[in-house]
Amino acid sequence: MRKVLLSLAFLGTMAMLQLNAGEQFAMSDADRAMYTEMLENNPAEIYVEEGGEILEEALGGEEALAKFLEVSEKDLPKYIAGFPRYIKKLGNVVGIDQVLQVMQVEQGKKKTKLKSGKMFSMLAYVKSLANDELINIDVEADEHIKASYALGKTTYLTARGGRGLSCNSCHSADIVGQVLRTQPLPDLGEVAVAGTWPAYRMTKSSLRTPQRRFQGCMKNALLKVIPIGSKEMIALEVYIATLAKEKGKKIAIPGLKR
């Protein structure tokens, strides 16, 4: 703990204080008012809607997606709540965005880039189909997801970069709630990362995906940025999804974040 705090101190002026439980992040009164308003009317809803339209027009909507995934339309929401998954015909543990890309290729269409706004919208829409479902990732389902979980855990725990920090340096149970440069360190299970991203990020005024958010922390903490869609990145998503599953969290897309 002490060592962690010392290395964090290099990151700049840091005020340590304990916050009231339930307080997710520090904001000015004006920002808090805006947050409350946006909770009622999340600006990302429009992207989710747009994502649904693109999916429908470009790929044949939920029906085509369910068929591709070999599940019934009725079971699709529950199935989506378990991603990332090992998909046999893709031969890999993948995210929903990669499934959509393979569908595009199968239908002879141009692949939408994983990093594009269009893909973020489609991903948000598909994940929103699972709203109110419990996060149900099963890391024991097969050897591939088991391996991905193990890689994700290692990636999460391994200190990297100039400051020797890992994700866990800032997000471990014994440090969460403390404040780094005015921002409380969140427990990634408690804030249900796997259930709330894609989210509207107020500070970026845009829809962001979980992997994009992970990259934000990597940049800030000077960890080498892992590419979106890479094996390590998916593994990290797998590991972080288990943190929310353990806390019995549900899917609620789009999230709203600072």
> Is residue 233 a contact residue for ligand HEC (CB under 6 A)?
no
Helix (H/G/I), strand (E/B), else coil: 249: coil
CA–CA gap between residue 163 and residue 154 (Å, rounded): 18
HEC per residue, 160-196: ECCCCECHHHHHCCCCCCCEECCEECCCCCCCCHHHH
Residue among 92, 136, 183, 206 that touches ligand HEC (CB under 6 A): 183
Q: How big is the CA angle at 211 (ends 208 and 213), to the nearest 5 degrees?
A: 55
The residue (of 100 and 185) whose beta carbon lies closer to ligand HEC is 185
Hey, what are 69's tokens?
Answer: 């995934």
> Is residue 169 a contact residue for ligand HEC (CB under 6 A)?
yes
**Stretch in the footprint of ligand HEC (CB under 6 A) among 58-66, 82-90, 185-193, 241-249:** 185-193
**How far is the CA of 68 from the CAs of 3, 85, 97, in angstroms?**
49, 14, 13
Query: Residues 163, 7: contact at Cβ < 8 Å?
Result: yes
> Is residue 200 a contact residue for ligand HEC (CB under 6 A)?
no
Type and span of the H or E element at 55 = none
> Is residue 151 a contact residue for ligand HEC (CB under 6 A)?
no
> Is residue 125 a contact residue for ligand HEC (CB under 6 A)?
no
> Is residue 170 a contact residue for ligand HEC (CB under 6 A)?
yes
Sign of CA dihedral 222, 227, 228, 230: negative
Hey, what are 1's tokens?
Answer: 């703990």
Residue among 191, 207, 235, 256 that touches ligand HEC (CB under 6 A): 191
Query: Residues 135, 251: contact at Cβ < 8 Å?
Result: yes
> Is residue 257 a contact residue for ligand HEC (CB under 6 A)?
yes
Of 81, 84, 47, 95, which Cα lies nearest the Cα of 256?
47
The residue (of 89 and 219) whose beta carbon lies closer to ligand HEC is 219
> Is residue 25 a contact residue for ligand HEC (CB under 6 A)?
yes
**Stretch in the footprint of ligand HEC (CB under 6 A) among 45-53, 81-89, 128-136, 178-186:** 178-186
DSSP assignment letter at 254:
S
Residue among 193, 241, 244, 251 that touches ligand HEC (CB under 6 A): 193
Residue among 207, 221, 251, 256 that touches ligand HEC (CB under 6 A): 221
Residue among 148, 196, 209, 242 that touches ligand HEC (CB under 6 A): 196
**Stretch in the footprint of ligand HEC (CB under 6 A) among 65-73, 81-89, 94-102, 209-217:** 209-217
**How far is the CA of 96 from the CAs of 80, 160, 237, in angstroms?**
8, 28, 12
Please give the residue ranges that form the binding site for ligand HEC (CB under 6 A): 8, 11, 25, 165, 167, 169-171, 180, 183, 185-186, 188, 191, 193, 196, 213-214, 217-218, 221, 223, 236, 257-258
